[in-house]
Structure 1
Amino acid sequence: MTAIHPARDPGRITSPMLLGPAIALVVLVATLFVWPEELIGASLADFLLVTLFLGGGAAWLTGKAVARSWDPYLHLLVYCALLACAVRFCHFALFQATLFDPEPLAVEFVLLASIATLGFRAMRQRQMTVQYGWMYERHGSVAWRPRKLGSS
């Protein structure tokens, strides 16, 4: 079995697809402590209900669906942009928030894309370890690694 170069191993725990969402979420949470009302464009309760719980749940399922169909990651980002627009519309329709406000839309896109990416990776990890179980093994909940020779 040939060795996989660490920089080319998409399943590694230090993959940009895992580090990117983690860093984005940390920056987003830190920024929300500084400018909460300007960035979320609604009250905290409205943001938690619509964006985090409803939108985040839809983003997680979207990430899993894109991975399940073996579509490329770029499709996921397009779907997250559409989902962020739908969440922004829900804020507008239900809570009289501003519809075309770029800051809350960007915050919602980053949050939803991060959650969707983690859902994508969770499903892709399952696919790689189940379908290619002879070649890969689980390494955490969203990563996989090549099997060592002689392990089962």
Structure 2
Amino acid sequence: MDQNALLGSSPLVFLLFTVVMVGWAAFMTGNALASTWRPMIQTVPYGILTGLANRFFVFALFGGELLSVTGFLIDTTILIGISLLAYRMTQARKMVGQYPWLYERTGLLGWREKGKG
């Protein structure tokens, strides 16, 4: 199977437009959801909407395949993953920032109670 048929667009469009440009929007979505203390599960419907918008823009701007199911699934999975990563990064930063007497950072994505571990 051809990569263009699998992605619904060229690999360059996938990398530069979907991963970089729309990925930035997905990152900001995850950041906004975590900043407003929304549940993590909300990244999924927003990721699906972002994936639909991405598929339309790839079709309209770059002549990609509009109804590419595999392209939509791959794009949406990556965009949801980016949103989840941003959500967790922001949540860890906020937990330590707002409750410094209770928590300390354990890396980019985690925190723990002070005095434990």
TM-score normalised by the chain length of structure 2? 0.92
User: Which residue pairs with 2:108 in the alignment?
Assistant: 141
CA RMSD of superposed structures (Å): 1.5
The 5 A counterparts of 1:112-151 are: 112-148=79-115
Cα distance, 1:76 vs structure 2: 1.2
Q: Is the 8 A contact 1:67 1:121 kept in 2?
A: yes
Runs of 4 or more, structure 1, over 4 Å off, are: none
Moved more, 57-66 or 72-81: 72-81
Indicate the percent of aligned positions where both proteins have the same amino acid. Answer: 35
Cα distance, 1:148 vs structure 2: 0.6
**For residues 74 and 113 of structure 1, what CA distance do their matches in structure 2 show?**
10
2:45 aligned to which of 59, 78, 89: 78
**For residues 104 and 140 of structure 1, what CA distance do their matches in structure 2 show?**
33
Cα distance, 1:35 vs structure 2: 6.3
Q: Is the 8 A contact 1:50 1:90 kept in 2?
A: no
Amino acid at match of 1:79: Y
User: Which residue pairs with 1:53 in the alignment?
Assistant: 20
Unaligned stretches of 5+ residues in structure 2: none
User: Which residue pairs with 1:66 in the alignment?
Assistant: 33
Deviations 1:63-94 (A, max 9, x none): 00000010111211111100000110111001
Between the two proteins, the alignment pairs up a number of residues equal to 116
Cα distance, 1:37 vs structure 2: 2.9
